Chain A
Amino acid sequence: MLDQTEGYTTEDGRKIGGVVMEMRNITLRFGGVEAIKDISFDIREGEIRAIIGPNGAGKSSMLNVISGFYVPQEGQVFYKGAPRPPMKPYQVAQQGIARTFQNIALFEGMSVLDNVMTGRLTHMKTGLFSQSFWLGKAEKEETENREVAEKIIDFLEIQAIRKTPVSRLPYGLKKRVELARALAAEPSLLLLDEPMAGMNVEEKEDMSRFILDVNDEFGTTIALIEHDMGVVMDLSDRVVVMDYGKKIGDGTPDEVRGNQAVIDAYLGVAHD
């Protein structure tokens, strides 16, 4: 059930819905280090939400909190309007939150198709018994999920490498396969951890196009972390800016660009 608070309309005329995910007063500590300090923000249905900030600002930690890899010491995560109890990453995934990783975490030994099919695991419900003996139900389920996987492979234009083991692919394609796997889960919220890190200009343009297309075509809500300011400003509807674990800005790209704290964080301030 979605939060009933009203959404907004973007500049390019897309209608953004209610709140899918809300982070309320999140604090995360590693021993004495506060990686995230009392941060609140929300992610609305259908929008592309970016989290930016200099190195070590706590962006990846934030993404790990959302996806359940880290459990915050303080604060509450609300998902689809209800407070989310602390849960394991696989349970978060089963709730419909898919993600990619900064350093690509694919199944290197498997083919591209198999990797994308693992993204469908949360949609496959038949038990060990009928799977083991390949009973009718299991076969039907496999076919249905295979169709979805193939659709996404087509969409991201990786048909040509469907059967290739992932370990043989170049970096840029691996990133795209990882996106395909996350997308295969048909997530309510898609988390992208630096989807363009280490790419050249051409690959970045491709990836940006895919992210926009995914949002457009499937209406997927996307939260992404990115270093490249230009890319972020082009892609996102709203931006959270973090620095040293604190939130220093939140708003549309234009608002954030004009924010003095953000300019200081990125360009540095003279200490006198």
Chain B
Amino acid sequence: MPEQLAFTIEVFLNGLMAGVLYALVALGFVLIYKASGIFNFAQGVMALFAAMTLYGVMNGQVPFAHLINAIFGTEIHYFGWNVPALAAILLTIAVMVLLAWMVQRFIFRYLVGQEPIILFMATIGLAYFLEGVGDLMWGSDIKTLDVGLPQGINETIDEVTFGWFGYGFFIDNLDIVASVVAIILVAALVLFAQYTKQGRAMRAVADDHQAALSVGVSLNFIWILVWSLAGFVALVAGIMWGAKSGVQFSLSLIALKALPVLMLGGFTSIPGAIIGGLIIGVGEKLFEFLIGAPYLGGATENWFAYMLALLFLVFRPQGLFGEKIIERV
């Protein structure tokens, strides 16, 4: 069955590409969780907010235009200029860093040492707040984010695989770009954590707060740093997903897909987030193709990841790479 095999490989590759995007979102969770023990429910909304901001800046939208118009009876919506993609991305990064600072200054500074569930509730609040502010700033309409990434079928792969299998693979250029960007991003983060002073301080804080203080590390600074990094990762995820399926509210729901990824990979492991993302991406596509569609009536992609996570919770609750949970009596 060479044709069946070719299909399977194609599905596998597409699964990998989807997995990269899941991993990207999961990575944002891991960064914050490791350094502060906060499970950031707002990570998905941060991706949405970042994508909206990027779109707004690029297209010269006036922030809070509706609010301003409603109060002053004006009719302004656009500045009338367009900002080049690269400059807009830099500006959006600045906005995400500012957001990180505000989150630390106005929320988590007051919650140091609180129970994890309280920190979690605070991030749920943050998620709703940020969603509201995002809509208010940039409007809630669906936007097509185009930062000039190549899209559509990759002709070369199509032709080459046609030569091999007599069947051309459909691989989206955007997925390839997303994968490359994700790999570079992860490599950069790992290098940063391993070889820079701030990275070393970051790992120190992730490991032991008290010890970190005793070697002169400001927890506050590190927390702002990890929230900024998570904001940056959210922006990258937002660009990729936004280019794929438009900037809209459902973007924030991809965060939910990151949950099973984290169950698999472990909440504290960066490699875990990546491998977990890939397993979920490949797993759900292959399962749908080989078992779901032929035997189960399809649409298994919606629940496969969660079932897999459930199995992990039962048999290996710390995930593939998470720290082993040992309790001494």
A118 / chain B contacts, CB cutoff of 8 Å = 200-201, 204, 212, 215, 217
Answer whether residue B192 sits at the interface, using C-beta atoms and an 8 A cutoff. Answer: yes
Q: Which residue of chain B is the closest to A133 with respect to CB atoms?
A: B196
B215 / chain A contacts, CB cutoff of 8 Å = 93, 98, 118-119, 121-122, 181, 185
Say yes or no: A90 contacts B192, CB within 8 Å: no
Say yes or no: A90 contacts B219, CB within 8 Å: yes
Partner of A99, one of B200, B212, B214, B218: B214
Partner of B208, one of A90, A106, A117: A106
A109 / chain B contacts, CB cutoff of 8 Å = 203, 206-207
Partner of A110, one of B195, B198, B203, B216: B203
Q: Say whether, besides A93-B213, A101-B211, A110-B203, A124 and B218 are in contact (CB < 8 Å).
A: no
Q: Say whether, besides A88-B213, A105-B211, A108-B207, A132 and B200 are in contact (CB < 8 Å).
A: no
Say yes or no: B218 contacts A105, CB within 8 Å: no
Q: Say whether, besides A128-B198, A131-B197, A121 and B208 are in contact (CB < 8 Å).
A: no
Answer whether residue B210 sits at the interface, using C-beta atoms and an 8 A cutoff. Answer: yes
A259 / chain B contacts, CB cutoff of 8 Å = none
Min C-beta distance of B210 to chain A, whole Å: 5
Q: CA A90 – CA B207 in complex, angstroms?
A: 16
Q: Which residue of chain B is the closest to A125 with respect to CB atoms?
A: B197
Min C-beta distance of B6 to chain A, whole Å: 44
Q: CA A271 – CA B217 in complex, angstroms?
A: 50
Q: Which of B200, B215, B218, B225 has the most A CB atoms < 10 Å from its CB?
A: B215
**Restricting to B174-195, which residues have a CB under 8 Å from any CB of A?**
192, 195
Q: Which residue of chain B is the closest to A103 with respect to CB atoms?
A: B210
B199 / chain A contacts, CB cutoff of 8 Å = 131
Q: CA A138 – CA B219 in complex, angstroms?
A: 22
Q: CA A37 – CA B16 in complex, angstroms?
A: 65
Say yes or no: B213 contacts A121, CB within 8 Å: no
**Restricting to B20-63, which residues have a CB under 8 Å from any CB of A?**
none
Q: CA A101 – CA B211 in complex, angstroms?
A: 8
A186 / chain B contacts, CB cutoff of 8 Å = none
Min C-beta distance of B248 to chain A, whole Å: 33
Q: CA A118 – CA B218 in complex, angstroms?
A: 13
Min C-beta distance of B242 to chain A, whole Å: 26
Interface residues of A (CB under 8 A from B): 67, 69, 88-91, 93-94, 98-99, 101, 105-110, 114, 117-119, 121-122, 124, 126, 128, 131-132, 134, 138, 141-142, 181-182, 185
Interface residues of B (CB under 8 A from A): 192, 195-201, 203-204, 206-208, 210-219, 225
8 examples of A-B residue contacts, CB within 8 angstroms: A89-B213, A89-B214, A90-B216, A105-B211, A118-B200, A121-B201, A132-B192, A181-B215
For the complex with contacts A98-B215, A101-B210, A107-B207, 15 further pairs of A-B residues with Cβ separation under 8 Å are A67-B214, A93-B214, A99-B214, A101-B211, A107-B203, A108-B207, A119-B215, A121-B201, A121-B204, A121-B216, A124-B197, A131-B196, A131-B199, A134-B196, A185-B216
